[in-house]
């Protein structure tokens, strides 16, 4: 189980237009918003990533880079980026499922074609959303076993503003005895 304030697992993936992404060298003022998505086959992902694309400049103004990552290959990642009209949001692809598991993501198996007629890969990760600080410590995490009811990026941006203003620490860090 990943714990806030602890060091995030290694993460290196190729991106569509920005060379390799490596969390260890992803120097940003405050950190990186990492959105793991299911893949091109997921219509909910397209809607969700459209919101992140729109808010990527606002996260950047606050010192946070953004990246959307899936286990899809480059061709399917490009199709998703094109589908949402991405110009600001980086897209990582070819996420190893072993790395997805290191990040605590749930893995699903294919059920064939989705409601939009795109074949699911044999295996793929379910969604996860993370804020990783510049020092690679985990600030925020949300991992889901289903594609539904995801955290709102607008609410996350408001939370970032609050956290910056109040110097609010990552929560959920206690791993000691409970009695």
Per-residue pLDDT 10s for the chain (179 aa) are 999 999 999 999 999 999 999 999 986 799 999 999 999 999 999 999 999 999 999 999 999 999 999 999 999 999 999 999 999 999 999 999 999 999 999 999 999 999 999 999 999 999 999 999 999 999 999 999 999 999 999 999 999 999 999 999 999 999 999 98
* Of the candidates 52, 48, 69, the residue with the CA atom closest to the CA atom of residue 60: 52
Would you state the pLDDT for residue 26?
A: 83
pTM: 0.97
Would you state the pLDDT for residue 49?
A: 98
- The tens digit of pLDDT for each residue in 43-86 reads 999 999 999 999 999 999 999 999 999 999 999 999 999 999 99
Would you state the pLDDT for residue 28?
A: 79
* Of the candidates 140, 103, 110, 146, the residue with the CA atom closest to the CA atom of residue 127: 146
Would you state the pLDDT for residue 72?
A: 98
SS (H, E, C) the chain: CCCCCCECCCCEECECCCCCEEHHHCCCCCEEEEEECCCCCCHHHHHHHHHHHHHHHHHHHCCEEEEEECCCCHHHHHHHHHHHCCCCCEEECCCCHHHHHHCCCCEEECCCECCCCCECCCEEECCEEEEEECCCEEEEEEECCCCCCCCCHHHHHHHHHHHHHHCCCCCCCCCCCCC
């Amino acid at each position: 189980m990943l714990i806030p304030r602890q060091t995030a697992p290694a993460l290196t993936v190729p991106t569509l237009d920005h060379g390799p992404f490596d969390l260890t060298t992803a120097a940003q003022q405050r950190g990186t918003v990492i959105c793991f998505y299911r893949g091109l086959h997921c219509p909910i992902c397209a809607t969700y990533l459209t919101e992140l694309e729109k808010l990527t400049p606002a996260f950047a103004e606050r010192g946070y880079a953004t990246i959307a990552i899936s286990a899809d290959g480059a061709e399917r990642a490009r199709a998703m980026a094109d589908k949402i009209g991405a110009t600001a949001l980086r897209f990582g692809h070819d996420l190893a499922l072993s790395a997805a598991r290191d990040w605590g993501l749930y893995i699903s198996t294919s059920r064939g074609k989705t409601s939009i007629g795109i074949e699911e890969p044999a295996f793929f990760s379910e969604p996860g959303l993370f804020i990783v600080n510049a020092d690679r410590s985990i600030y925020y995490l949300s991992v889901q076993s289903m594609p539904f009811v995801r955290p709102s990026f607008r609410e996350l941006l408001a939370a970032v503003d609050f956290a910056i203003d109040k110097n609010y620490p990552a929560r959920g860090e206690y791993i000691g005895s409970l009695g």
